[in-house]
Structure 1
Amino acid sequence: MSELTLFDNKLCVIMLLVYMFSYCPFVAMGGEKSKPASETLIEEWRKIHWSQKEEDLQFVKDYQPLNEEVKQLRVLLHGSTGAGKSSFINSVDSVLRGRITVRVPTDTNSSKTFTMKRRTYKINKGGPGTFYPFVFTDLMGIEGSEKQGICVEDIKLDMKGHIQDGYKFNPCSEISEDDPNYNKSPTLEDKVHVLVCVIDASTATALSNESKKKMREVRLAARDLGIPELAVLTKIDEACPEVSSDVKNVCKSKYIKEMLDKVSVDLGLQPNCIFPVKNYITEMETNDEVDTLILSAMKRIIDFGEDFVNELQT
């Protein structure tokens, strides 16, 4: 073989390798093919009105219950440990006050539940003693093990208005009627008007069958009480890199759509009752895109709660 032919063969091999590394990145990644954008970003599966943030904010600020028996809608949050229940309350507070707030204690180590006692949170509307006409009740998280996390019966009793703030949850047993925090005669305002299940989008596929069973049991109890339900899909930025780089990609994300559909199947909720949101965790200031997603969920929470209490009006 001549030197020229040998040179030509080597040149061909080099050019082939350059082509493979340039156009087939999976070769350089040990056989792990990177996903092209077309596989992660798809056509919008839900329309988000990004330019209507101020209009949505004004809707929430102007809301007042029509039922005179109810001065404030009661929103009960439940979900697995570390899903972002407390952070969602902080995020709503941040949106409505126009600055980052951290009134509800949270924990970055989500292996065990951080919320141990039942507590209701109001959101200040401006002047001292002035609050929005809705409150959020925060509970201990649901865990897969039988005697860990909140007892499902406690969630059912809370929906009926039987548990008062300050009660320390016991994973092994429900609240006793003799407990000082047991409310024997709840009013309409004590009862839950909207049930919100909070799901972590980054770990939705890892939910144990036992956790899903407990969430489903809570949902069926709400159905029997006529309480409207919806779900909030949190940590969308952690679940999808495309959303992390631009929150506006949320309704183009194939992965977020798959997680939303999975939650719909697991819990039996309609997809239009599941709202993807990003909680304020690392930000030092609020921004319009994150606000828009949170306000979208809040509008539906208010609509559902208002319909519920009006149907009960005497």
Structure 2
Amino acid sequence: MGSTPEFVTVLAEKTVTIGQDITLSCEANSSKVTAEWKKAGDTLKCVEGKRKVGNTDTKFYLEIKDAKPEDEGYYTLSLSNASGSCSCSAMVFVELKEWREVEKEQEPLISTLKSFKICSEEVRELRFLLHGPVGAGKSSTINTLKSIFEGHQFLNCLATNSDTVSGMSFTTKYQKFSTGTLPFAFYDVMGLEVGHKGVHTEDIINAFKGHIPDDYEFREDMPIIEEHRDYITSPTINNKIHCLVSVIPADRLSMMSEDVIKKMRNIRAEASKLGIPQIVFMTRVDKACKLTSEDLGKIYQSKKIRDKITMCSNKLGVTENCIFPVKNYHNEIGSNEQLNCLALQAFTQIVYSANDYINRWSSRQKQFE
């Protein structure tokens, strides 16, 4: 009886661009084995002109010609004989051609936003409401944007460690966070949860309609009602939300509860009736994609991130060009220009979307004058 198969060298992770050839290889302690290649659990077969598997003595290899997006994946080689078996695996990343442009320098983006003027003198500031499931990174998103504008790490907006989130919302109040002298304000709410826990969808709807005051304490047992002493009965345009921002964690998208997704779709439907623009910030991209984690500048060359955007679009019913993948500051203590540019590009979109909403409101007001 021969010896149990063992690897002398194992498969190595590969990153290739579209059109490149891929070669995965490793070496075993014997050639007298049965070799089986799999991708994501499915057995691979030789395909003439595309895929070839084989071995030269104890060296085993897989060759893939002309890499395509669908060639990205997790590859495994299993070796077996009468004495036993062993396996090793490696990830192959296929970098796409950049499918969305991103600014490489933050200063032009910051300058544009700092010189921004709201189209109506009646509106003091553009107001953005961030909502989404618990642990998605709503508070961290606000921290990140304020850090960029203030030039230092901003930590006053308390946020949970979303890697160890307990499933309970840390935010309990309707909190407003301004951006210094800039005419922008963020509003943070409790996270959405399954069933009757977390923020009520009615509270979010009342918030963007302008009925909920700053620092209102959310209650899980019931949403705010008109009879509540703090309920704003006749909200002005300055009480209302001008852009709804859905915050979704890229790495947990496939695991999101259908109940939470349904709540988000219902909230979007009500916002649409009022003409409120809606943008999605897809956070935690570094947790969802190793390629992006190692080089944030390749985020728009990542097949996994593109697939996540498509999945998000399908789940929420948002068009893909309204979904922006971002990374928030988490364990960094210094500034990261790539991270800042992604956040600023997404923020610029909600600023212009909110301003368009104000412009439409202003036009309607003039019709009745």
Normalised by the length of structure 2, the TM-score is 0.75
8 Å CA contact 1:165, 1:181 repeated in 2: no
1:82 maps to: 135
1:127 maps to: none
1:276 correspondence with 2:325: yes
Deviation at 1:30, TM superposition (A): 5.4
1:296 maps to: 345
Instruction: Provide Cα deviations, 1:281-305, integer angstroms capped at 9, x if missing partner.
Output: 1110111100100000111011001
Deviation at 1:35, TM superposition (A): 2.2
2:96 maps to: 42
Please give the alpha-carbon distance, in whole angstroms, between the structure 2 residues aligned to 1:151 and 1:170.
Answer: 8
The letter for the 2-side match of 1:102 is L
CA gap of 1:11–1:33, structure 2 versus 1, over 3 A, is: closer
2:114 maps to: 61
CA gap of 1:225–1:245, structure 2 versus 1, over 3 A, is: same
1:211-290 maps to which residues of 2 (within 5 A)? 211-290=260-339
Report runs of 4+ in structure 1 exceeding 4 Å deviation. 10-18, 21-25, 28-32
Between Structure 1 and Structure 2, the one with more helix by share is 1
1:144-155 maps to which residues of 2 (within 5 A)? 144=194, 146-155=195-204
Deviation at 1:17, TM superposition (A): 7.1
8 Å CA contact 2:31, 2:58 repeated in 1: no
Instruction: Provide Cα deviations, 1:199-224, integer angstroms capped at 9, x if missing partner.
Output: 00010111111111000000000000
Unaligned runs of 5+ in 1: 1-9, 125-130
The letter for the 2-side match of 1:104 is C
CA gap of 1:98–1:27, structure 2 versus 1, over 3 A, is: farther
8 Å CA contact 2:190, 2:199 repeated in 1: yes
Instruction: Provide Cα deviations, 1:94-125, integer angstroms capped at 9, x if missing partner.
Output: 1111221112111113221110111111122x
Deviation at 1:87, TM superposition (A): 0.3
The letter for the 2-side match of 1:79 is G
The letter for the 2-side match of 1:199 is I
172, 176, 180: which is aligned to 1:120? 176
Please give the alpha-carbon distance, in whole angstroms, between the structure 1 residues aligned to 2:342 and 2:245.
Answer: 15
Say how many residue pairs are matched: 295
8 Å CA contact 2:30, 2:58 repeated in 1: no
CA gap of 1:21–1:218, structure 2 versus 1, over 3 A, is: same
8 Å CA contact 2:174, 2:215 repeated in 1: yes
Please give the alpha-carbon distance, in whole angstroms, between the structure 2 residues aligned to 1:69 and 1:11.
Answer: 79
Instruction: Provide Cα deviations, 1:99-155, integer angstroms capped at 9, x if missing partner.
Output: 21112111113221110111111122xxxxxx21010000000112x2111100111
CA gap of 1:33–1:224, structure 2 versus 1, over 3 A, is: same
The letter for the 2-side match of 1:176 is I
Q: In angstroms, what is the RMSD of aligned CA positions?
A: 2.2
209, 217, 225: which is aligned to 1:176? 225
2:144 maps to: 91
1:195 correspondence with 2:244: yes
Please give the alpha-carbon distance, in whole angstroms, between the structure 2 residues aligned to 1:112 and 1:31.
Answer: 40
2:43 maps to: none
SS of structure 1 residue aligned to 2:185: strand
SS of structure 1 residue aligned to 2:113: helix
2:82 maps to: none
Deviation at 1:34, TM superposition (A): 2.0
Please give the alpha-carbon distance, in whole angstroms, between the structure 2 residues aligned to 1:205 and 1:80.
Answer: 13
Unaligned runs of 5+ in 2: 1-28, 34-54, 64-74, 80-84
Please give the alpha-carbon distance, in whole angstroms, between the structure 2 residues aligned to 1:56 and 1:117.
Answer: 31
The letter for the 2-side match of 1:150 is V
Please give the alpha-carbon distance, in whole angstroms, between the structure 2 residues aligned to 1:12 and 1:137.
Answer: 64
Deviation at 1:13, TM superposition (A): 5.0
Deviation at 1:49, TM superposition (A): 2.5
CA gap of 1:81–1:21, structure 2 versus 1, over 3 A, is: same
Worse overlay, 104-113 or 71-80: 104-113
The letter for the 2-side match of 1:34 is A
1:138 correspondence with 2:188: yes
SS of structure 2 residue aligned to 1:232: strand
8 Å CA contact 1:119, 1:166 repeated in 2: yes
